[in-house]
């Protein structure tokens, strides 16, 4: 029996559930299909559980900082088993609450895998304005609607010779399920995922080695941010290896063995493979050829579903969040899902505009950025300048005994284009930084802003008012 809806959403992560909520509140009969758990990777095995881990080790980091000045003494120990139980209770409860909220709004949630009809994501022959979706799983069904939103997210990437085996070589989801803290850990990948797990386990006493094939940690950031991060991490006892390509990573004799292309090897009790993420497009009949298939969809070179300026992937089909490969962040998925829902309701007409996307890496040492890097400004041909302020000059950073790092402003053709920071607590600066970048201010107009004293926010002002240094394309 075919069930008819005004909209069908495949994927119950931040993008899909936000779209479902707005559409239901707008009076549209909405179906949401999710094959694993509501809340997606973010809630269940990503953003949220990792923050529970990092929050538990934060007091120990503060203690160590103050101990260097002789102002505090003692020790903090983490009950890992209790932490795991608390994390699981919160995640499970939040997912259940999300389901109840959607149900209260009238959203019909199907447990299973949503796939296009045999004829693909196109009009059904007998009903030209309807797109058919098959649900395979606990709630098999055939659904039809004039519009479908693909919000299927992404999964941990792997490559030949670099794949989790569930023994000593793990992906991030597997690592979150450990029942004991390893004595040593290899982290392959120096991006956000690798950095956050490295931070937690280092605080738990694990000997951590980060391996990044690119020349720097945090490859998407400017080199000065990455270098400062490296200095802080190495001073904290982590080993950082950059610019070395990994040839293989396997479990041998119960331990993780990493082999570099130069033949050298490293061995640890466990290894985390954190080399990026890939869009969940299995079953959609897409290929990386760049040509549309029977489903009407095609992939870009990185594996994301190609969308137009309004996030259309095919007639009547939208793609939001990680699956379109634009920005693999939960808040980006949420933002895109909300835009598409408003567009379907007739409340949005223009193309999708994200504005300066904020991003953070959390832990004892954090990264924050909103807007462009200096590298991006130079690549675009703009006149680039930067201004910086050390956290050492900020009284709040000093009070917390964590003053390593700096805040940085990036200027393009005389206007603010981006802000970034590295150091303790700098994730708290990201929203203010985003609003400042969104304004695209010139230096003289920033004089109207009043920053509360004493706050870490004053480091933003210090960076904005610091002398600017021009940058050349080869710097």
Q: HEC profile for 324-365?
A: HCCCCCHHHHHHHHHHHHHHHCCCCCCCCCCCCCEEEECCCC
Tell me how crowded residue 1 is: count the other CB atoms within 10 A of its CB.
4
Beta bridge partners of 134: 115, 142
Question: ∠226-42-146 over CA atoms, to 5°?
Answer: 120
Q: Which tokens is 28 given? A: 């549209």
The 10 Å CB-count burial string (b at 16+, else e) for 22-53 is bbbebebbbbbbbbbbbbbbbbbbbbbbbebb
Per DSSP, 467 falls in state P
Q: How many helices (H) and strands (E) does the chain have?
A: 12, 27
Burial class (CB in 10 A: 0-12, 13-18, 19+), 61: buried
Q: Strands of 312-314's sheet, edge to edge?
A: 108-111, 30-34, 7-10, 148-150, 317-319, 312-314
CA proximity to 162, closest of 219, 240, 246:
246
| List 66, 400, 424, 453, catalytic entry | 453
- Between CA 122 and CA 132 the distance in angstroms is 8
Considering only CA atoms, give the Rg of the chain.
Answer: 24
- Between CA 193 and CA 190 the distance in angstroms is 8
Is 453 an annotated catalytic residue? yes
CA proximity to 96, closest of 43, 136, 151, 52:
43
- Between CA 191 and CA 159 the distance in angstroms is 17
Q: Which tokens is 430 given? A: 């990201």
**Three-state SS at 77:** coil
User: CA-CA distances (angstroms) from residue 434 to 112, 163, 416, 438?
Assistant: 38, 36, 11, 6
Give me the torsion for CA of 287, 291, 297, 303, rounded to 10°: 40
User: CA-CA distances (angstroms) from residue 135 to 34, 51, 110, 334?
Assistant: 9, 33, 8, 24
- Between CA 362 and CA 213 the distance in angstroms is 22
**Omega before 454 cis (within 30°)?**
yes
Pairing of strands 7-10, 265-268: unpaired
Catalytic residue set: 453
């Amino acid at each position: 029996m075919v069930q008819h809806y005004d909209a069908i959403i495949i994927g119950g992560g931040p993008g899909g559930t936000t779209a479902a909520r707005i559409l239901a509140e707008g009076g549209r009969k909405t179906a949401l299909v999710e094959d694993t758990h509501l809340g997606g990777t973010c809630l269940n095995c990503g953003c949220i559980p990792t923050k529970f881990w990092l929050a538990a080790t934060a007091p120990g980091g503060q203690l160590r900082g103050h101990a260097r000045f002789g102002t505090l003494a003692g020790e903090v120990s983490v009950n890992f088993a209790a932490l795991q139980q608390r994390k699981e209770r919160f995640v499970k409860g939040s997912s259940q609450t999300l389901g109840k909220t959607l149900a209260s709004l009238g959203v019909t949630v199907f447990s299973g895998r949503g796939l296009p009809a045999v004829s693909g994501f196109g009009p059904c022959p007998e009903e030209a304005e309807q797109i058919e979706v098959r649900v395979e799983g606990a709630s098999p069904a055939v659904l039809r609607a004039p519009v479908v939103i693909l919000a299927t997210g992404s999964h941990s990437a792997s490559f030949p010779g670099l794949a989790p085996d569930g023994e000593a070589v793990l992906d991030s989801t597997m690592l979150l399920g450990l029942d004991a803290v390893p004595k040593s850990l290899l982290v392959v990948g120096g991006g956000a995922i690798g950095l956050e797990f490295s931070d937690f386990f280092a605080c738990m006493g694990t000997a951590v080695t980060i391996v990044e094939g690119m020349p720097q940690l945090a490859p998407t950031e400017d080199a000065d941010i990455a270098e400062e991060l490296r200095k802080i991490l190495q001073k904290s006892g982590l080993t950082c290896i950059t610019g070395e390509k990994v040839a293989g990573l396997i479990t041998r004799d119960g331990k993780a063995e990493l082999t570099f292309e130069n033949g050298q090897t490293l061995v640890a009790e466990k290894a985390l493979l954190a080399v990026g993420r890939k869009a969940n497009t299995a079953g959609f009949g897409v290929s990386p050829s760049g040509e549309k298939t029977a489903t009407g969809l095609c992939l870009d070179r990185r594996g994301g579903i190609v969308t137009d300026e309004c996030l259309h992937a095919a007639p009547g089909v939208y793609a939001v969040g990680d699956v379109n490969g634009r920005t693999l962040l939960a808040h980006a998925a949420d933002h895109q899902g909300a835009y598409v829902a408003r567009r379907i309701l007739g409340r949005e007409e223009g193309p999708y505009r994200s504005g300066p996307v904020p991003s953070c890496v959390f832990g004892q040492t954090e990264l924050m950025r909103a807007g462009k890097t200096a590298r991006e400004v130079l690549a675009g041909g703009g006149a680039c300048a930067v201004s910086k302020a050390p956290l050492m000059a900020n009284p709040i950073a000093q009070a917390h005994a964590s003053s390593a790092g700096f805040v940085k402003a990036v200027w393009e053709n005389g206007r603010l284009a981006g802000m970034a920071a590295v150091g303790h607590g700098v994730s708290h600066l990201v929203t203010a930084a985003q609003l400042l970048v969104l304004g695209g201010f010139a230096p003289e107009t920033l004089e109207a802003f009043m920053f509360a004293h004493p706050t870490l926010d004053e480091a933003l002002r210090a960076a904005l008012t610091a002398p600017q240094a021009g940058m050349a394309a080869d710097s």
